[in-house]
Amino acid sequence: MAKQGILLLQMGGPCCTANVQNFLYNLFSDPYIIQLPKFLKPYQKQFASFVSKRRAPKVMKNYEKIGGRSPILFETLCQAKALNKVLGNNYKCYIAMRYSYPFLKDTLQEMQQDNIEKLTVIPLYPQYSIATSGSSMIECMELFEASGFSQNIEISYIESWHDNPYYIELIANRIKDQLEILKNETELTLLFSAHGLPQKYVDDGDPYQKQIEDSVSLIVQRLSDDLNFRIYRDQLVSSQFTVNYQISYQSRVGPIKWLQPYTDKVLEDLGLRKSCKNLIVVPISFVGDHIETLEEISIGYKELAHESGIKNFLVTRLPKANPLLISALASLVKKSTLKYESLNLQSR
């Protein structure tokens, strides 16, 4: 078999606090992340420069709380290494970050030197949004075409994998680990916290929110099957437990309307109005730790939960390089490869 490449796409993150402003500039320069009004679009870079300078000091302090840098590069390298080991020597895994090193242009040079003949592109976002998977894949398409890379290679793009059975099993297992810690409690709440998205995106047809909801439904069904729960409205019920569950959205920025309900508002409501004492937060849209999981959830939201009266605040572990995540990614590659081989046979 010809050498086949797998390109894992991720958001990236600052390698140190000194890199925070540059990372933010790259982020806010992306028109798919920050959709300015039409009359302001020519000034996107000036806007990015202004906002990144203003936000950098606060964001740097948040990174200092988690060790001064993002773990995302290390975790993505571990995922790529594990995937390569599972797939074998006929494959080679590459990574590219959207807003930090290694950038796609750097990874492209390596792929060109390796003379691969087939490439499967997998954004490490299970649920599709134009702001994440879409933005990254558009960058690939544009750069591959401009460089001539796409003329000599078969390229497959995996848009989303929110319903992949290995992924669903992994998240369900992470929840079961935390349920075991709270096995002596009779009532608790699962809060599936997804990264937020401006409401306008969904109104314009972005499938992100629907795919989040579909993922949660599959995970809840898996928990029901594994633990003999009965699903009743927004509850999992057994003779021992009553588990309430709901979805919320975090990490909103600016004055515009984002997907609701907001995670911080839900935490206050759960503790102050509904007297929730036991909470498990499930970071549903992340496959590795970010500032959003390590600082926003595990530090900021934990403090807010305790202030609101929630006694036990647990967070499920992220997938990282867990074998089930690697199996999910490998299944996507193999499905893509079978489709490619089928097309080749039909063309002969």
pLDDT in tens, the chain (348 residues): 558 999 999 999 999 999 999 999 999 999 998 889 899 999 999 999 999 999 999 999 999 999 999 999 999 999 999 999 999 999 999 999 999 999 999 999 999 999 999 999 999 999 999 999 999 999 999 999 999 999 989 999 999 999 999 999 999 999 999 999 999 999 999 999 999 999 999 999 999 999 999 999 999 999 999 999 999 989 999 988 899 999 999 999 878 899 999 999 999 999 999 999 999 999 999 999 999 999 999 999 999 999 999 999 999 999 999 999 999 999 999 988 765 444 443 433
Q: What pTM value is reported for the model? A: 0.94
Question: Is there a contact between 39 and 126 (Cβ–Cβ < 8 Å)?
Answer: no
For the chain, list the domains and their CATH numbers.
4-16+69-160+323-347 (3.40.50.1400), 165-315 (3.40.50.1400)
Q: What are the tokens at 114?
A: 């390796």
**Distant-in-sequence contacts of 84-90, Cβ < 8 A, 24+ apart:** 84/6, 86/326, 86/327, 86/330, 87/6, 87/330, 87/333, 90/1, 90/2, 90/3, 90/4
Of the CA atoms within 13 Å of residue 133, those in its CB half-sphere come to 21
Count of other CB atoms within 10 angstroms of residue 251 = 18
